[in-house]
Amino acid sequence: QVSLVESGGGSVQSGGSLRLSCAASVYTWNYRSYRMGWFRQAPGKEREGIAAIDTDSVTNYADSVKGRFFVSHGKVKNMLYLQMNSLKPEDTAMYYCAADSVVGASLTVRHYIHWGQGTQVTVSS
């Protein structure tokens, strides 16, 4: 079982920036091939994939965040980051980190088996 812990959420005004972090448990993170992704879920809406990266550093972004959000690995491969710039009120949601032991930067929820508990991002106008 892989444990994922998100951090870095908070409240920010429209146009501001936040950086989310996700840490996978070191003792169980022994995947040689994997993908990690960021998902979000607003109240009353389905969870959606917004950014993903795999072992080969292939990235994938939802159109709604392309050019504003940037996903990256840490120097230690069990870390994942999401730099969010030019935030909008519609970016308000609970943000989740997810991982799976398969390559391919998928944005599909069912392609991930490990999930964190989420961190809230609130953007005010």
For residue 32, the model assigns a pLDDT of 75
Rounded CA-CA distance 4/7 in Å is 10
Query: For the chain, which residues score pLDDT lower than 50?
Result: none
Longest dimension (CA), the chain: 42
For residue 103, the model assigns a pLDDT of 84
For residue 77, the model assigns a pLDDT of 67
For residue 55, the model assigns a pLDDT of 86
User: What mean pLDDT value characterizes the chain?
Assistant: 92
For residue 82, the model assigns a pLDDT of 98
Going by C-beta distance under 8 Å and a sequence separation of 6 or more, which residues neighbour residue 34? Answer: 54, 55, 99, 100, 101, 102, 103
For residue 41, the model assigns a pLDDT of 98
For residue 47, the model assigns a pLDDT of 98
For residue 56, the model assigns a pLDDT of 87
